Structure 1
Amino acid sequence: MTIVDAGPLIALTDSSDQEHLRCRAAISSLPVPLVSTWPAITEAMYILGDRAGWPGQRALWSALGVGGVEVSAIMDEDLPRMKSLMEKYRDLSMDLADASLVAVADRLGIKRVFTVDSDFAVYRTAKGKRFELIP
Structure 2
Amino acid sequence: MLTIHEIQQEDWVRLLELMQQYRDRPMDSADATLVLIAEKTGYRQILTLDSDFLFYRIGNQGTFDIIQI
Cα deviation for residue 80 of structure 1 reads 1.8
TM-score, normalised to structure 1, is: 0.47
TM-score, normalised to structure 2, is: 0.87
1:74 matched residue in structure 2: 7
**How far, CA to CA, are the matches of 2:9 and 2:38 in structure 1?**
15
**What percent identity do the matched residue pairs reach?**
40
Letter in 2 for 1:119: D
Superposed CA offset, 1:47-102 (max 9, x none) = xxxxxxxxxxxxxxxxxxxxxx3321112342222111100101111000000010
Structure 1 stretches of at least 4 aligned residues deviating more than 6 Å after TM superposition: none
Tell me, which stretches of 5 or more residues in structure 2 are unaligned?
A: none
Q: Which has the larger radius of gyration?
A: 1
Letter in 2 for 1:103: L
**How far, CA to CA, are the matches of 1:93 and 1:125 in structure 2?**
17
Contact 1:86-1:99 within 8 A present in 2 as well: yes
The answer to whether 1:89 aligns with 2:17 is: no
2:44 matched residue in structure 1: 111
**How far, CA to CA, are the matches of 2:10 and 2:37 in structure 1?**
10
Select the residue among 61, 64, 69 that pairs with 1:128. Answer: 61
Q: Aligned residue pairs: how many?
A: 68
More helix by share: 1
RMSD, matched Cα: 1.3
Letter in 1 for 2:59: A
**How far, CA to CA, are the matches of 2:10 and 2:43 in structure 1?**
17
